[in-house]
Amino acid sequence: MPFEITIPRLGWSMEEGTFVRWLKSDGDSIRAGDAVFELEGEKAAQDVEAVDSGVLRIPADSPAPGTVVAVGAVIGFLVAEGESIPASCCMRASTLVPDRIDNGTSRPNLSNGDSSEKLPLVISEIPPAAPSVRRIAREMGVAIGSVEGSGPAGRITASDVRSKSGKSTTDTTVSDNKVATVANVASPRARRVASELGVDWQEISGTGRDGRVRESDVRGSVPLAHSTKVAIQIPVSARRRTIANRMLASCHQTAPVTLTTRIDATNLVSLRQQFKQSNDGHPVPSFSDIAIKLVTFCLRQHPFLAARSEGDHWILPQTPNDIHIGFAVDTDDGLVVPVIHGAGSLSLFDIARRSIALIEKARFGKLSVSEMQGGVFTMTNLGSFGIDAFTPIINLPETAVLGLGRIRREPVVVGDQIVARDQMTLSLTVDHRIVDGAPAAKFLQTLGQALENPSAWLLRDDSVPI
């Protein structure tokens, strides 16, 4: 019988996702493990692999690219040669289907309790396009449904609408003897804010990389008189909801306690300066990279700080390769925490390479779900924002999170003299249910000693077991 291809749950709170595209064509032979389609969840897009083998059959009513679909929905089948499939596949529970779709078509009435009636899975049948693009289409008299999208997952762009209307896809305006070229790229947050403010982001000059329009560019383009007329209502995105839910769960499910200490970071600053001056082809480790490596040494001495809560028991790392360190990255779409897997067995330069690659993927929304899972300890650095100390929130199901503050040159008493030294504050939040204050303080003390004398610690033998 046909094997159903369904929408998987990519995250612990995921109830629906966005179908991006099929990676295989109807009639292709599929083997177990082949990537069949791409699905965007709460934080990342991921290739979904087949769990069985057969011939791929994509029904006519399978969701179009950009369609929001419910977890568990059937979107296709794997069949044997010559085997047929049901006439309609895209079904979902009636409780998840709105009474009317966006074009005004009524849904079947389920008031008679007939749960056997099949309902279409599609939540929205409007072609994928931003509100600002739809507004441009209305102004130009173009039917949005007649436009073929050239964006990701067939998304319709303003250029597609202008091309359909016969107008140029690149407009320029002259003001104060300067030419402003229409921007072609904008961050998702900038697009959302532009829609909320009724601003065409395509007419804004971006300050981001390669002219990318950022949220600040959109807000800066709105005259103050206009922006203060009414209160701005900002809808909560799926990623923001996920972040909020995880932060709230952390506060409700842990007993957080934050400890802070000041350390002398003069040797740490000197070591990084030596790396910058050596110019030997290796990537220059950041302060965060050095801290991650030193944290792995300290976790081997204080393993309960690396405990993961799993039901009614805790899991501790057994080898350096089991020490996976997450680090917070701020992106246009919100905070994400990529994980350096096996950080305890990596060299400092390997950690630097991994962190550079993960940061790049995070800022372009290319992180996979697996690259954000499995961490045993998380680190966040707000030093670049001028923050000294703060209260980082534990990343469930982990036990501890470390915050790095800014490094600041200050006068310090050394012996009988006052000298200038680099000072930094460490902020450690632990789950007091698992770790008491004294063991947490000992870990922070050990880490402080490591950061004050990083060169000696980095020469330690990595083969020492936990």
Catalytic residues: 432, 436
Q: Nearest to residue 164, comparing CAs of 151, 182, 149?
A: 149
Q: Collect contacts of 140-143 with beta carbons under 8 A, ≥24 apart.
A: 140/165, 140/167, 141/165
- Rounded CA-CA distance 460/389 in Å is 29
Distance from the Cα of residue 392 to its chain's centroid: 18
DSSP secondary-structure letter at 319? S
Distances 339 to 152, 305, 358, 371, 372 between C-alpha atoms, Å: 27, 17, 8, 6, 5
Q: Any bridge partners for residue 410, and if so which?
A: 421
Query: Count of CB atoms within 10 A of residue 311's CB?
Result: 7
131: three-class secondary structure by DSSP: helix
Which pairing describes strands 67-70 and 377-381: parallel, antiparallel, or unpaired? Answer: unpaired
Residue 363 CB partners (closer than 8 Å, separation 6+): 329, 331, 332
Query: Count of CB atoms within 10 A of residue 34's CB?
Result: 15
Two structure tokens written together for 120: 């279409």
Q: Collect contacts of 384-388 with beta carbons under 8 A, ≥24 apart.
A: 388/425
183: three-class secondary structure by DSSP: coil
Distances 28 to 20, 31, 74, 144, 153 between C-alpha atoms, Å: 19, 10, 18, 32, 20
- Rounded CA-CA distance 304/316 in Å is 7
